[in-house]
Every structure is written in structure tokens, then in C-alpha cells.
Amino acid sequence: KPAETAARKGDKGEGGGEVRVRQWFPETLFVENFLVTDEQGRASLDIPLADSITTWRLSAIASDRNGNIGGKDAPITVFQDFFVDVDFPVFLTRNDTVEFPVAIYNYLDREQEIEVRVEPADWFQLLGKADARVRLAAGQVSAVRFPVKVTRVGHHALTVFGSTVGSRNADAVRRVVQVRPDGREVVRTLSGRFRTGEDKAAQPVTFDLAVPKDVIEGSEGMVVQILPGLSSHVVQGMDSMLRLPGG
């Protein structure tokens, strides 16, 4: 999956092109369960790298027709000299007043004046400026903070742009965070059974759902489960009761 290109006027990357927004950050990059090699035991495989700036661990296990098994681990490093990143918490709560920390990494060989800019969005309200400037020495890592008030529930993306002043080094990153409602959770459970009519066809099951008038916008959710029989209800209930001890 290719990363999206930020089609914003003035956001220029190295070489004068548009800044590519890094937004694909999978935990597992690639899995191949079955790969046939040639007679020399070699195989070629193209793997699209994600937008994470990190060192991936490649683990490979191979076997031959005689049943011999071998394995190998190798690092794959993804790196660039200048980049920015957003350090989000696990989740936010609506009406939170927080500061978005934006980390800046200057691994260039000289001191840089860096401009960082947050792209405004409808799910938060900026409580200060949308941009900031900071000077970093060669090899230095620092951070700037943008105070905001979170206003909307749901899964939302924050896009941050960073660039060095007077040169063509630039980066952009988009991270997604969950915003939870700040009210009291109300859960209602309804159940029914599919029955067959005279024509042996399954009859529909209908429920009336009443949503409170003071519900927080975006907080509504529904889970539908279709189970084959009563025994499935029992197994599902036991699964929710059996938990590892903690404290």
C-alpha cells in the first residue's frame, strides 16, 4: 500500500517535489507462508516497505525435500536524515485539553532551523499557533508541543509537516488516534430467534432501538452477532467470565 501524497501547495520535499505523507505503520510488515526457490535454494521477492522509520527483523525458515530445516534472522533498516513524528497516547477523551507532542529528528550533518506545522482538522480546536520554529544542532532530537482541545468522538487523523528552513529537507506524518466520549456509557442488549414460516423461509427479526436525545454525537455503536444455537451463547458467556488474574 503506497503512502499518500500530500497535495498541498508549498509543501515541497527533497528535490522540489511534493511531501509524501507517511501514514502506513503496520506492526507486521509482510508474511509469506510458501515460497518456492530455484535449484540453488534462491528466491526473489519484492516487499513494499512501510512508512515506519525503524529496523525491521526479517525471520526466514526454510526446508528442503530431504526434511532438513534451517533459519536466519537479518535486519532491514529504514532511515532518513530528517523526519518528524507524533507521540499520541492510547486514546483521548472528548473535551480533553492536551498538548500534541511532535518529535523532531535532525540527523543531518549541520545545524538546522526547522519549521513544524500542524494541519487543522474539525475534530480539535487549536489553542495556539499552528506552526512553530526550532533550531537543532546536527544529530539533535527535540520536540515542540501544540495545545489543543479535543471536540469530536471517533477515530481521527492528525497530519504534521516539518521542513528545514533554507533547504529542501522535508517530511510529513499522519497518525490516527481514538477519541472516546466523556459521558456515561449506556449498553442495551436485545435478542431474538430466527424462525421458519410455512414456506420454510426464515422470518425476519425486528428490533426497535431508542437512542437518547442527549446522546453524544459520534458515540453511537452497534454490534450484531448471529449464533448457530444456544450452546454458542453458553460458550460465549464462559469466555467472558474466564480471565487471567491481574491487579
Give domain limits for the chain. Answer: 81-180
The confidence score (pLDDT) of residue 16 equals 42
Encode 55-71: b = buried (16+ Cβ within 10 Å), e = exposed. ebeeeeeeeeeeeeeee
- 27-67 pLDDT per residue, tens: 999 999 999 999 888 999 999 999 999 999 999 999 998 99
Q: Which range among 8-22, 74-88, 167-181 shows the weakest confidence by mean pLDDT?
A: 8-22
This model's pTM is above 0.85: no
Mean pLDDT of the chain: 88
User: End-to-end distance of the chain based on CA atoms, in angstroms?
Assistant: 41
81-180 belongs to which homologous superfamily?
Answer: Immunoglobulins (2.60.40.10)
d(C-alpha 130, C-alpha 127), whole Å = 9
DSSP-assigned beta bridge partners for residue 157: 176
pLDDT score, position 69? 95
Among 13-22, 159-168, 193-202, which range has the highest average pLDDT? 159-168
